[in-house]
A = this chain, B = another copy of it.
Amino acid sequence: MNIKLNSREPVYIQVIRYFKEQIAKGVFEPGQEISSRRELANKLKINPNTAQRAYKEMEEQGLIFTEGNLPSRITKNEMIIKQVREELILEAVSTFIVAVQSINVPLEEAINLVKKKYEENPNEQEGNR
């Protein structure tokens, strides 16, 4: 559990993104049991309702599921998992392109900067080999 919460963005949104990233990376595996609302709230020092809100939205999006009053689990639907991954990638790519175009930086130059910057501080978060 390695989330850094910022105050600029709603906490439940940040929680959802974190889960999406873990799912996309495969750190959270299909069918895997996840922390209960209260447990997550404790870990992150947030209100249980905020955790609940995040979980509720994730459930609506099919990312997790809940049977009875058992702890929720990561979806077993591989299609959804694939979509999450693609959504995150697409979002990153789109954001980058929009930003670059908005200040008229040529694509090649922007890509070179990415490569350079990437080499400067390579892979901070590995952890899954």
Contacts and interface: CB of A to CB of B under 8 A. Distances in A.
A35 interface: no
Nearest to A10: B8
Classify the secondary structure of A's interface with B: helix
Contacts of A21: 102-103
B93 A114 contact: yes
A111 to B, nearest CB: 6
A7 interface: no
A118 B97 contact: yes
A53 interface: no
A128 B99 contact: no
A78 interface: no
A46 interface: no
Interface stretch (A36-44, A58-66, A68-76, A84-92): A84-92
Given A25-B102, A93-B117, 5 more contacts: A89-B103, A91-B99, A92-B95, A93-B110, A97-B118
